[in-house]
């Protein structure tokens, strides 16, 4: 059976990263993550990420630039793989349509967040990306 790809956005601007606080499921509520979601059949990963950001953050899909991959793939389970991409917002202001809160954080703040465990795997790569973006 093919693996389901889940894409996540490392949305970086001026040395800060946008993180989103989960509302559900109950075991993950209140924890922080990179926004994103599942790639639909026939959809490219970049198109899926732009769509997911439009749904979750209320930004226009055309206002999202999806760049190169960030970090290594993270296995969520035997059937799902999580993959992160560097993202820039070209226009618009993100709002938490599917999350409890959004927050812009610096590299120094990353270790102090209560991350969902899968996204914690990218802390090193995120720190490097944020440091290079200053």
Asked if residue 58 has pLDDT above 90, the reply is yes
Find the angle CA(94)-CA(107)-CA(7) to the nearest 5 degrees.
Answer: 50
Convert the pLDDT of each residue in 105-130 to its tens digit: 999 999 999 999 999 999 999 999 99
Number of domains comprising the chain? 1
pTM value?
0.94
Query: What is the CATH classification number for the domain harbouring 65?
Result: 3.90.79.10
pLDDT in tens, 61-105: 899 999 999 999 999 999 999 999 999 999 999 999 999 999 999
Contact between residue 22 and residue 119 where contact means Cβ atoms under 8 Å apart: no
Structural domain for 47, as ranges: 4-133
Model confidence at 3, in pLDDT bands (50, 70, 90)?
Answer: confident
């Amino acid at each position: 059976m093919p693996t389901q790809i889940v894409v996540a956005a490392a949305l970086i601007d001026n040395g800060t990263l946008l993180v989103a606080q989960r509302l559900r499921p109950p075991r993950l509520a209140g924890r922080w993550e990179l926004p994103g979601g599942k790639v639909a059949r026939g959809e490219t990963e970049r198109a899926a990420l732009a769509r997911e950001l439009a749904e979750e953050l209320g930004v226009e899909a055309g206002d999202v630039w999806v760049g190169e991959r960030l970090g290594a793939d993270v296995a969520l389970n035997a059937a799902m793989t999580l993959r992160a991409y560097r993202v820039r917002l070209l226009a618009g202001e993100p709002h938490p349509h599917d999350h409890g809160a959004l927050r812009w954080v610096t590299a120094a703040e990353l270790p102090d967040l209560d991350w969902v465990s899968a996204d914690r795997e990218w802390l090193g790569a995120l720190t490097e990306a944020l440091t290079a973006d200053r």
